[in-house]
Amino acid sequence: MDCYCVEPGKRIKLNDWDPQDKEFCPDGKDEGVRRLESLKQKLYDLQVRFFAENKRKLLVVLQGMDTAGKDGTIRNVFGGLDPQGIRVATFGKPSTRELKHDYLWRIHRQTPAKGQIGIFNRSHYEDVLAVRVRHLMPKSVWSKRFGHINDFERMLTDEGTTIIKIFLHISFEEQRERLLSRKNTPRKQWKLIPQDVEDRKLWPNYTEAYEDTLSQTSTRHAPWWVVPADRKWYRNLLVASLVCDALQKLDPQYPTPAYDISAIEI
């Protein structure tokens, strides 16, 4: 899967990454779905151990253009895990209260505690993406944030958090299909807001902002992964694999009982 990792220090162009790529599962959807099912079982076993171990933290950051599939990924990949060990945080437009603080204030409060897997549905990266593209702050303000973010993530990793940052990469055409489907399917209409159509007009600006962001904030301690996301089954498979790999590397262990178990009479 290394081909999906943004090499730290390297400048990337999203055009070079194919949103329809399926190299990790060339046999297609049936095989992909089968592999996802077995990965989810593995993920569950690892999560139970991670939670019981209660020592380290895992943070999964999900970013992507509108309709890229952040909600679907959360449902399909993490839906079967023990909710006690999961913390999903969704970051929409900052509230008046949040705007009174620095932009990382609301983020830090939602980072996972020991034993938890935190999932960010959007994140601090909106503060160098939406904020930049919609001109909510001048360049002199948002351009300094790449450095803050790298330092902030460095602190989190130094303090025991593993960070997986995932950019769900969809094509302009696929976004059109998904927006149309939202418009024409009654049960999906609630998800369509005028802002989505406004942001679609800014696709080239968002692309440029993402390219800068991924290039400047993919670090050894917290690298970015560009996940081809035009095919939902492939996106789910890849995200599940990334999380599974990270947990396997951490190799969480059940704690040894603090008591002499054989001495406990039941």
Q: Which residue ranges make up the site for ligand ADP (CB under 6 A)?
A: 66, 91-94, 122, 126-127, 130-131, 136, 193, 195
Tell me how many degrees the CA angle 127-133-135 measures, rounded to the nearest 5.
Answer: 85
| Dihedral sign (CA 30, 3, 208, 218) | positive
Q: Which is nearer to ligand ADP, 26 or 92 (CB)?
A: 92
Cβ density class 91-105: b for 16+ within 10 Å, e for less? beebeeebeeeebee
Q: Which is nearer to ligand ADP, 31 or 208 (CB)?
A: 208
Shortest distance (Å) from residue 47 CB to ligand ADP: 24
Q: Encode 58-84 in three state secondary structure.
A: EEEEEEECCCCCHHHHHHHHHCCCCHH
Q: Which is nearer to ligand ADP, 40 or 165 (CB)?
A: 165
Q: Which is nearer to ligand ADP, 131 or 168 (CB)?
A: 131
Shortest distance (Å) from residue 118 CB to ligand ADP: 17
What DSSP designation does 80 have? T
Shortest distance (Å) from residue 168 CB to ligand ADP: 11
Shortest distance (Å) from residue 94 CB to ligand ADP: 5
Taking CB atoms, the residue at the shortest distance from ligand ADP is 126
Shortest distance (Å) from residue 249 CB to ligand ADP: 29
Strand partners, 62: 121, 166
Q: Return the closest-CA partner of residue 112 out of 91, 90, 89.
A: 89
Q: Which is nearer to ligand ADP, 127 or 174 (CB)?
A: 127
Task: Give Cβ neighbours of residue 159 (< 8 Å, ≥ 6 apart).
Answer: none
